[in-house]
Homo-oligomer: A and B are copies of this chain.
Amino acid sequence: MKYSMAEEIKVFRSWSSRFALRIIWALKLKGLEFDTVYEDLTNKSPLLLQYNQIHKKVPVLVHNGKVICESLVILEYIDETWKQNPLLPEDPHQQANARFWAKFGDDKVLQSIWGGVFLKEGKEQEEGVAASMENLKYLEEEIRGKKFFGGETIGLADIALGWLAHYLDIFEEIVGVKLIDHEKFPSLAAWKQEFANAPIIRENWPDRDKLVTKYVAMREANLGKGTPK
Contacts and interface: CB of A to CB of B under 8 A. Distances in A.
Interface of A: 53-54, 63, 66, 68-70, 72-74, 76-77, 80-81, 92-93, 95-96, 99-100, 103-104, 108, 138
Contacts of A80: 92, 95
14 contacts: A54-B104, A54-B138, A63-B93, A66-B93, A68-B96, A68-B100, A70-B100, A72-B99, A73-B99, A73-B100, A76-B99, A77-B92, A77-B96, A80-B95
Q: Is chain A's binding surface mostly helix, strand, loop or mixed?
A: helix
Contacts of A103: 70, 72-73
Given A54-B104, A138-B54, A95 B76 contact: yes
A166 to B, nearest CB: 25
Contacts of A138: 53-54
A74 B96 contact: yes
Given A54-B138, A99-B76, A104-B54, A93 B70 contact: no
